Structure 1
């Protein structure tokens, strides 16, 4: 995981939030872990190979589940 963190506040429909948290719990993950994983994957999917910084490359992140 990164050494420093920044807060990201999102607005979400309460029903979606509840269902999201239930599914996260089934996988023994918290919502922050899943959101970080989704953001990381989004970045990798939308950057050209030569744009991916070393710290974001799959090899550098260690590919820990949920992180």
Structure 2
């Protein structure tokens, strides 16, 4: 079952955003892909495993979250 994505909004200096997006584009990768990878690496480095919850009405078998 697919996990529904959630939005993460953050503020960043405009010049850093522009440089980041340009670097991502030069590597043929989206800024979102890079941020998702950074989050995965950060979680792994700190030994955190994400738990996934279901949006279905019958979520009795889903892990607690």
Using the size of structure 2 for normalisation, the TM-score is 0.68
Which has the higher Rg, Structure 1 or Structure 2? 2
Structure 2, unmatched stretches of 5+, are 53-65
Aligned to 1:52: 49
For residues 24-63 of structure 1, the C-alpha deviation after alignment (integer angstroms, 9 at most, x for no partner) is 001101110000000000000011xxx53698xxxxxxxx
Instruction: Give the 3-state SS of the residue equivalent to 2:3 in structure 1.
Output: coil
Larger RCO (CA under 8 A, 6+ residues apart)? 1
Compute the RMSD of aligned alpha carbons.
2.0
**Structure 1 residues 54 and 5, CA gap change in structure 2 (3 angstroms):** closer
TM-score normalized with structure 1 length: 0.66
Runs in 1 of length 4+ with deviation above 3 angstroms?
A: 51-55
- The alignment partner of 1:21 has SS state of helix
